[in-house]
Structure 1
């Protein structure tokens, strides 16, 4: 890993943190829909699997040392005792899987539509399915809700996450066109 990789990882960690400053949309049962998972999807699509997964690792370290970098100004070890910690932990494998799939569609010579659709599929599979597996799993068993309640409660977030996946796909395509050397993996 070289200096360029470290800078890109830190940059995408900063993007994830800044997306936490976007005011969340509050659902009726006092759960926020934040933009931070968009940053996780972007990290995977643009940086690839390894570097993309290290960006949310850095954010999680910042949370653990107490910095208020999560949506709503949350941070500290208390976050890891909350019922939604599975979603936070799921960011790392989510970004990794997103990156793995996106790397297959990250060839500069690809046509625009297949590449954009590939980035969208990568964002959906990694940034939604994988993150939700961890999040719903912990919510169901760690918080004692039961799998069906945790799953049904999470369905409200899917439309927003699909919009985020579309934005990540378009951004990935724009980066590929505008700066084709960025995705080259270390």
Structure 2
């Protein structure tokens, strides 16, 4: 149970690291209002903390995750006051996000949840490393799908439907192509 709650707490960090990592690999233009070095450093910290939790689940890792969430929540509040509802770039180029009190509350809430999960760490039997790695790989694939593939695919699907609509009357003349009723 502890590991699942820990993975749930790490899921936004995984998604952020995947989205921003994709942008770094393909040299996409950043959306963030913070300096590039701080943005890249946060991405590396997210990836390291999530990997550390999977390889060696310990309360100290979740306390570090809680500290990162708390610092990010405080940073969002400070930036919100300084810059207004600017684009935060939290999820990379493919997903938009705005600096706001909701984002700060979510970060601070996740900090409390991570600290609570770390405090109740009493489960002596953790899943084997292969199960933990499989769960982590699954989370990475889902994050890649949600953060990169889906945002790129939805506009293409709309365009495909527009192009295919002109051939619909032509296809209706072929009875073999109709769906059986």
Alignment TM-score, normalising by the size of structure 2: 0.31
The higher relative CO (CA closer than 8 Å, separation ≥ 6) is in: 2
Larger Rg: 2
